[in-house]
Structure formats: C-alpha cells, structure tokens
Chains A and B, each alone.
Chain A
C-alpha cells in the first residue's frame, strides 16, 4: 500500500493563531489595496473589471489575409492590451471583432465626449497592434483597393457592460441566499457552531481570493464569477468532510476533549485532504499554466481559492466551531476554566454540546 502521510499527529488547533494571522495579513493587504486604489484619483480601481462588467470599445477590422485569433491576441498583447475578447466573424470571413476594455478609467462615464475619446484611444492602440500585420488602408480606400494595405479598421463603437450592476447584485444575493441554505442544512445535520464555522470559512476563502484579485489587478470577468461559485462549493465540501469526522469521533470517544478530537479528526482525514485537494490543485495548476490568457482569471480564482479552501477548513472552520462550543460551555464549566491557563486548555474544556444530535450508526 502506497500512502502519503500514513500516520501523522499534528496539533493543528495549537497552531491556529499563526494560521489565522496569515489570513488576516492577506485580508488587510487586500482591503488596503481595494480602498487605496479606489480612493487614489485617476489610478486603477479596486478591481480590474473587464469588458463584461465595464464596457469598452469594439473594433471591427477587415483583413486581406486574416491572421488567426491567436496571432491577433499576441499582437494586441504586445501593444499592451491584455484582456481583449476576439470574435471571428463567420459570415464575413475576412473580418474580426475585437472588444477591448476601457483603457483609462474615466470618471465621467456617460459623457459623450469622454466616450468618443475612449473609442479613439482604443482605436489607436488596436491600430498600433494590428500594424504588425502590415499597414492600414488609406482612409478613403478599402482594404482591397489599397495595394499597400493589409487591413482596415471598418468599425469602432463603444459598448456597454454585458453584466450590468443588476447581474452583479443578483449574483451576490443568490450566493448569499445559497450560503443561508448551507448554514441551515449544516445546523440541521450538525450544529449551529459548525454551520457558522463552515460559512465563515467560505467567506474567508472568497475574500482572500478577492484580495489577490485586487492586489495583483487580475481581470474580473464573467468567467471569474463562475470560478467563485465553484470555490464556494469546494470550500464547503472540505469543511463538511472534517466536521463529519469530528461528529463520528465524538460518538466513539466520549471521554476525549473536543480539542483533541478535532486534532485527531483533521489528522485522520489528512491523507484524503492531501489526495483530493492535491488533485484539484494540480488540475487547476494545469489550467493556469496552459489554459490560455482568456481563462487566466478563471484559473487563478480557482487556484487561489483551492489553496485557501483547504487551509481555511483547518485554520478557520474547525477552530471557530470549537471556539464557539467552548463559549457556550463557559458558564457551565467555570471551575475547569479557572484551573486552566493556556488557551489550548481553555478549548479543551469546551462543553460537549449537541454535535451528536444525530448519532452515527454503523
């Protein structure tokens, strides 16, 4: 039998404070980045919202010899346009539609002159990129008439956001309601304290991932939204696996402290945690490395989220659950608490409340 970490015995609950500290540092960095960027005028916004959310400019280019989408993307990348949406025109096969995000954050959006200005900036930068394929046709000639030309920009228009504020709000509300559903179900199957631990861990994972998106200014597109929904799922899944083991251990070892039981449960499921999350992590890594630029935001969100999800189960979900249980037990367990000094010991005195409400039969 080939096994990773056959028997480990780590005091996870003992190192929860340094772990939580790391989370807090990342969250503060994210918050500082978001607020700082939002407040500094003329600079970048809290998040780098893509064409989907912000709108931009759509440019229609007509080619004599149309390069592949990939070549166009490379050319645009070279001109500093990092997140274009490139759509082939299938009925007019020599044309291609290039959507680029707003190039400078214009505060006065909606202003006609600013929009026109944006369109011009967009056109110029796309022209610069496309010039690598040859010259643009003279303004009064079509691309076929001008012998020296290899392409011509035949249309420039500004476009509004695909996913307006409405969809964004709806996504947030739907996710929050989904979390409420998770909260109720875990509370029903386990206990309120566990439900709170799992849901706070999910929030933690989403916020950590958002922090990365703000600090590194990765582009937020509609696909990133899907990645967030996915990472919420992974995060909850992980928490429940460990909770389930704590619940099982509670019924079998009634004399052990919750603190020790939680450590045992994490250690016992560690090989599963490593295998599953390792596989998820590596698959997502493949997506980050080879998935291409358009999927980068999606892959990165899953990448950060899968790491945060694994770690938050151990460092956030479980400690919160048993911390809360210890709080509930405090009044009943006065004497024990007085005699204990270390914080770890305090947790050890946690009351053994109704986690075993639905005993496991085997």
Chain B
C-alpha cells in the first residue's frame, strides 16, 4: 500500500518535471535533431521566454499629439455652438468666422440689425464655455479669442489626456509593461512610448492612433413601415434639404450591409447617403463599455455591442421612447454603420453591426472603450532599442545571481550533506517549473518579475532549511530516522503553509490593485510559491520516502 503510493508520487513528479522541461526548452515547431544541440536548446529557450523592455529592449516610438488641430476643433465647435445659442434665443446673428492660424484662435460673430452685443454675449455665455476666452465687441461683431497662456494650458491638457488614453489602449491590448512618458519640450506635445517586442507592431501603432467616434443619430426619414430614406449621391441628399445643409442636419455616407451584398468586396457594395439630425442623440463620451461579439461564431462576422453610462442611457431611453418607429443611425467616424427603426424604448444597450473580423472588432471595441483621442497623432521617430537596463548590467546581474545560487548549492551540500542533494533538486525543480509556468501563462519577464523569482527562491531555500533543522532537532531528541523525517515534514509543513499563504495573499492583493511592474512581481511570486509547495515539500519528501523504502531500518541520516 505504502509502496504503491510511493510509485504514484514518483510517476507524478516525473510527468510534471518532463512537462516543465518541454515547456522551457522544447521547440514550438516540429522537433528536429538540431533541437538537441546546445545552440538549438539555447534558441528554443530564447524563443519561449518573453523578456520585457528592461531585459531585452523593443520598439521606441516618438509621436506628437496634433495640439493645433485640437485647438482648431475646439474653436470651430465653440463657434457653431455660439451661433446656435444666439439663434435659439432669437437674437439676430447672421454668421460666424473662425480663425485658427499660427497661434491665433478666434471666433467672430456677425451681428444683424439691431442686435445688442452685450445681450448676445450674455446669452452665449450660458450655453458655451467661454470662461478663459477674452472677448471684445463693436456694433457689428463680437470676437472671442484664446489667450496664448490658456492655449498652452489646453494643449498640455490634451497631451496628458492622450497619454492616458494611449496607456489604457496598450494595456488593454496586452503589451507587457511598456513605458510611456512626455518627450521634448512641453510645447512640442510629444510622447515617447517604449514597448517590448510585440508580434504585430503595425497593429499596435494603428490601435494607438486610431480614432473611434461613435454617435447615435436620428435619421431624417418617414417612419417605419416605410423604408428608410436613402439617396444615391451626396448631391441628391442635399437636394432633399433644399440644396443647402443647415447646421442641424448632416449628410453621411452609408454602406448597406445586407447579407446579400456583404459578400461582395466593399468597393462593389452600393454606396448610399442618408440625412441625419445634428447634434447626435448620444455620442461616444456617454459610452460605458464596448465588446466584440459574434452572433454566428463566424470569424468574419463580428459585431460590437456597447452599453451606455447612466446619464447617456437615461437620455437615450427618453429619446427612443418618443421616437418609436423612427429610424436611428449608428455612426462611426462619420460613416453610418447601420440604420434601424426603433421598435421599443431602448435604454443602455446597442450594437454596431458591420461584419467586422475578430481582430478589427476587438481593436475597435478597445478604442471605443478607451475614449476618443483629443487630437490625431503623428509618428515622428521610430527605432528599435536594446534593453533599458543596459546589456552590461544584465550580464553583471546574471553573473552575480549565478554566483549567489552556486554558493547556496555548495553550502546546502556541505551543511546538510546527503540531504543537501534533496534541497538542490527541489531548488532546481522550483526554478524550472516557475519558468514553465511563466511560459504557459505567456507572461513577460522583467526585473520586478525576477525580484519575485528571487523571493520565491529565497523562500524555497527557507522551506528546506526549516524541514532539515526540524529533522535535526527531532533526531537530537532521540527519535529514529523514519520518525524524525515524518515529524520534521509534518511540523515544518505548518510553518511553510503559514509563510506561503501569507505571502500569496499579499501577492494576490498586489496583483489586483497594482499595475505594470508590481503585477510582474506578483505573478512570478505567486507561481514560485505555489510550485514551492510542490518542489520543497512533496518532491523532497518523496525522495526521503525512497531512502527509507530502500533501507527501512536506517539508523543514521545524512543531514
């Protein structure tokens, strides 16, 4: 019976060890003879372990936030809002001019007959945020302009906002521990991104810079059951509005995506136009979440389901209940993705259909979730860089760590003699399996991760020391070998469990609440400690069991 369990333990250990060896050193292609050569093993090892930016290097990207565009858009939007505000208050405003050139950003409102400049300024102030703008007026016009110090502040805010959005996008994409920082003078609006090697850098670049503006708009059309009003050309759409598009209407392209036509390539699908009411019912800023989903399970048929924040949902629910049977358009980046009539009140759920592939749907959902960039980005510099710790430091660090490890091994062998072999086996197994676990979780190893590994190894050594010291104590009390081994393991196990569980609990909390380097540390630590319970306790005990199995009446233990 006892014998039987020993064999099961041994078989289990062998299977786990071989699995670990394969994961760490094994090829990820069909094996060949070269995989058994020293060079082949080294290549496989390098392929299997993902090293982070600090240990291996990666891409170095300098990009610039087009802050001028940001201010220009801000000015234009304010101009439109000012005109609308004045017109809604029935004040005679005939038009507006926007100047966005060099460092001048200003809005001029033309006043009609009998207009009171002060009254218009008061009215506009209620609707449009002109707090930081300086205002001047004469009999015919009002001019708001943006002082240069405010321009600097706004540009700065735009860059900071872009930094946050880029960060959330690359983190969500799963790039491991990138570094992101402001670059160049403050006014340059530059951001430096360094990230470890990713499989598809172009996709990451596109993802970072992508713009995804979602809005839900009402379509100008007779309500269902009549078909939605579409126009074959932009001109025809404009004609329907009497030739000119007013500020509360927009003509947008719409590519119909019926199943019958979706099989054709995009450029052969009929291009159509629809007229929508501006402003949008809700826009991307009201978005709470967005996810790529597939109704059919087909790889090329993904939709994006989204939900709205409470405020947006209330607005949307209100609007849909008043507009039953009217048509609504889901607009993405100025293009109508789908048009549907409203069957009943909709609160916070919606869907963008459009036959996306999985990758594009995932990226699009991610860009939507992270919010819109304040302005477009342009890439200014791109290069591949070496490890940020410096190749020389890494070599020195590796040498020093190896020296430390070798010292530990020699000490254990001298101090605990025969039993020291046990400890060394447990130690080697611990490192092998921790690496294997990191590989199977597709983790990226960085210096903080190595710190977690060091703590794990330290606690692995400690586990062995605890067990051996305990066994020595029990031997000293006069117990025979088999009893001393039993008590030693049982008693030390309580200590080991307590220390390990405590550290694992805190590491889990670090993982949950930390980010980047802290998470890297927590992951390797948790894995190392879990494996330690296997290698230092289970494996080590099995070896002692073997010794006692072969010599049940052992009188002296080499310890």
A: residues with CB less than 8 A from B are 1-3, 55, 58, 68-70, 73, 85-92, 95, 97, 110, 112, 115-116, 157-163, 167, 170-171, 173-175, 177-182, 185-186, 189, 222-223, 225-227, 229-230, 232-234, 236-237, 240-241, 243-245, 248, 268-269, 271-272, 275-276, 279-280, 282-284, 286-287, 289-295, 298-299, 302, 360, 362
B31 in the interface (beta carbon within 8 A):
no
Contact of B506 among A58, A178, A234, A298 (CB under 8 A): A178
B12 in the interface (beta carbon within 8 A):
no
A-B contact count (CB 8 A): 251
Q: A160-B182, A279-B461 are in contact. Are A174 and B518 (CB under 8 A)?
A: yes
- Nearest CB of chain A from residue B554's CB, rounded to whole Å: 15
Contact of A170 among B400, B408, B495, B513 (CB under 8 A): B513
For the complex, give the distance between the alpha carbons of A226 and B446 in Å.
Answer: 10
- A295 x B510 contact (CB < 8 A): no
Q: A91-B383, A289-B400 are in contact. Are A294 and B389 (CB under 8 A)?
A: yes
In order of increasing CB-CB distance, the 7 nearest A-B pairs are A160-B182, A292-B396, A283-B404, A88-B386, A178-B506, A294-B393, A226-B448
Within 8 A of A (CB), among B350-405: 383-393, 395-397, 399-401, 403-405
Contact of A167 among B383, B454, B491, B516 (CB under 8 A): B516
Chain B residue, CB-CB nearest to A296: B393
Residues of A within 8 A of B404 (CB): 282-284, 286-287
Residues of A within 8 A of B461 (CB): 276, 279-280
Binds A, one of B235-243, B323-331, B335-343, B464-472: B464-472
- A362 x B491 contact (CB < 8 A): yes
Contact of A283 among B384, B407, B472, B513 (CB under 8 A): B407
Can you report 22 residue pairs joining A to B where beta carbons are below 8 Å apart?
A85-B390, A87-B387, A87-B388, A90-B386, A112-B185, A157-B183, A160-B183, A162-B181, A170-B515, A170-B518, A177-B513, A178-B507, A178-B510, A182-B502, A223-B451, A226-B451, A233-B506, A234-B458, A237-B458, A276-B461, A292-B400, A299-B400
Residues of B within 8 A of A294 (CB): 389-390, 393, 397
Residues of A within 8 A of B384 (CB): 89-91
Contact of A286 among B184, B385, B407, B487 (CB under 8 A): B407
- B397 x A287 contact (CB < 8 A): yes
Residues of A within 8 A of B388 (CB): 85, 87
- A244 x B498 contact (CB < 8 A): yes
- Nearest CB of chain B from residue A280's CB, rounded to whole Å: 5
- Nearest CB of chain B from residue A91's CB, rounded to whole Å: 4
Residues of A within 8 A of B503 (CB): 233, 236-237
For the complex, give the distance between the alpha carbons of A58 and B183 in Å.
Answer: 9
B514 in the interface (beta carbon within 8 A):
yes
Chain B residue, CB-CB nearest to A272: B469
- B472 x A1 contact (CB < 8 A): yes
- A73 x B390 contact (CB < 8 A): yes
Chain A residue, CB-CB nearest to B491: A362
Residues of A within 8 A of B397 (CB): 287, 291-292, 294-295
Within 8 A of A (CB), among B401-419: 401, 403-405, 407-408, 411, 414-415, 417
Beyond contacts A174-B512, A291-B397: 6 other A-B pairs, Cβ-Cβ < 8 A, are A90-B383, A115-B186, A161-B181, A185-B501, A244-B494, A279-B458
B216 in the interface (beta carbon within 8 A):
no
- Kindly name the residue among B179, B414, B495, B507 whose own CB sees the greatest number of chain A CB atoms within 10 A: B495
Chain B residue, CB-CB nearest to A162: B179
- B57 x A88 contact (CB < 8 A): yes
For the complex, give the distance between the alpha carbons of A268 and B415 in Å.
Answer: 18
- A276 x B447 contact (CB < 8 A): no
For the complex, give the distance between the alpha carbons of A324 and B269 in Å.
Answer: 79
For the complex, give the distance between the alpha carbons of A186 and B184 in Å.
Answer: 49
For the complex, give the distance between the alpha carbons of A186 and B497 in Å.
Answer: 12
- A185 x B502 contact (CB < 8 A): yes
Within 8 A of A (CB), among B161-187: 179-187
Contact flags B407-433 to A (C-beta < 8 A → 1, else 0): 110010011010000000000000000
- A174 x B448 contact (CB < 8 A): no
Residues of A within 8 A of B92 (CB): none
Residues of B within 8 A of A170 (CB): 513-515, 518
B: residues with CB less than 8 A from A are 54, 57, 60, 179-187, 190, 192, 383-393, 395-397, 399-401, 403-405, 407-408, 411, 414-415, 417, 447-448, 451-452, 454-455, 458-459, 461-462, 465-466, 469, 472-473, 487, 490-491, 494-495, 498-499, 501-503, 505-510, 512-518, 521, 525, 559
- Nearest CB of chain B from residue A184's CB, rounded to whole Å: 8
For the complex, give the distance between the alpha carbons of A354 and B405 in Å.
Answer: 41
**Binding site of A, secondary structure by majority: helix, strand, loop or mixed?**
helix
For the complex, give the distance between the alpha carbons of A3 and B472 in Å.
Answer: 10
- Kindly name the residue among A1, A161, A269, A299 whose own CB sees the greatest number of chain B CB atoms within 10 A: A1
- A55 x B396 contact (CB < 8 A): no
For the complex, give the distance between the alpha carbons of A248 and B473 in Å.
Answer: 14
For the complex, give the distance between the alpha carbons of A299 and B455 in Å.
Answer: 13
- B57 x A177 contact (CB < 8 A): no
Chain A residue, CB-CB nearest to B556: A1
For the complex, give the distance between the alpha carbons of A227 and B517 in Å.
Answer: 11
Residues of A within 8 A of B181 (CB): 55, 159-162
Contact of B465 among A89, A225, A275, A290 (CB under 8 A): A275
Residues of A within 8 A of B183 (CB): 58, 157-160
- B459 x A237 contact (CB < 8 A): yes
Residues of A within 8 A of B491 (CB): 248, 360, 362
- B385 x A279 contact (CB < 8 A): no
- Nearest CB of chain A from residue B424's CB, rounded to whole Å: 13
- A68 x B57 contact (CB < 8 A): no
- B466 x A241 contact (CB < 8 A): yes
For the complex, give the distance between the alpha carbons of A18 and B401 in Å.
Answer: 35
Residues of A within 8 A of B407 (CB): 279, 282-283, 286
For the complex, give the distance between the alpha carbons of A55 and B508 in Å.
Answer: 30
Residues of B within 8 A of A95 (CB): 383
- Nearest CB of chain B from residue A121's CB, rounded to whole Å: 15
Residues of B within 8 A of A180 (CB): 509
Contact of B509 among A86, A177, A293 (CB under 8 A): A177
- Kindly name the residue among B386, B487, B491 whose own CB sees the greatest number of chain A CB atoms within 10 A: B386
- A295 x B393 contact (CB < 8 A): yes
- Nearest CB of chain B from residue A36's CB, rounded to whole Å: 30
Chain A residue, CB-CB nearest to B454: A230
Residues of A within 8 A of B417 (CB): 2
Residues of A within 8 A of B386 (CB): 69, 87-90
For the complex, give the distance between the alpha carbons of A268 and B499 in Å.
Answer: 18
For the complex, give the distance between the alpha carbons of A24 and B408 in Å.
Answer: 33
Residues of A within 8 A of B401 (CB): 283, 286-287, 291
- B559 x A175 contact (CB < 8 A): no
Q: A237-B499, A286-B400, A360-B494 are in contact. Are A229 and B451 (CB under 8 A)?
A: yes
- Nearest CB of chain A from residue B519's CB, rounded to whole Å: 9
Contact of B408 among A3, A175, A182, A283 (CB under 8 A): A283
For the complex, give the distance between the alpha carbons of A73 and B389 in Å.
Answer: 12
- Nearest CB of chain B from residue A230's CB, rounded to whole Å: 5
For the complex, give the distance between the alpha carbons of A244 and B391 in Å.
Answer: 44
- B383 x A279 contact (CB < 8 A): no
- Nearest CB of chain B from residue A53's CB, rounded to whole Å: 11
For the complex, give the distance between the alpha carbons of A33 and B390 in Å.
Answer: 31
- Nearest CB of chain B from residue A33's CB, rounded to whole Å: 26
Residues of A within 8 A of B516 (CB): 167
- A290 x B451 contact (CB < 8 A): no
For the complex, give the distance between the alpha carbons of A233 and B450 in Å.
Answer: 14
For the complex, give the distance between the alpha carbons of A90 and B197 in Å.
Answer: 12
For the complex, give the distance between the alpha carbons of A241 and B397 in Å.
Answer: 30
For the complex, give the distance between the alpha carbons of A237 and B192 in Å.
Answer: 40
- Nearest CB of chain B from residue A222's CB, rounded to whole Å: 6
For the complex, give the distance between the alpha carbons of A181 and B538 in Å.
Answer: 27
Residues of B within 8 A of A226 (CB): 447-448, 451-452, 517, 521
- B469 x A90 contact (CB < 8 A): no
- Nearest CB of chain B from residue A245's CB, rounded to whole Å: 8
- B559 x A1 contact (CB < 8 A): yes
Residues of B within 8 A of A234 (CB): 455, 458
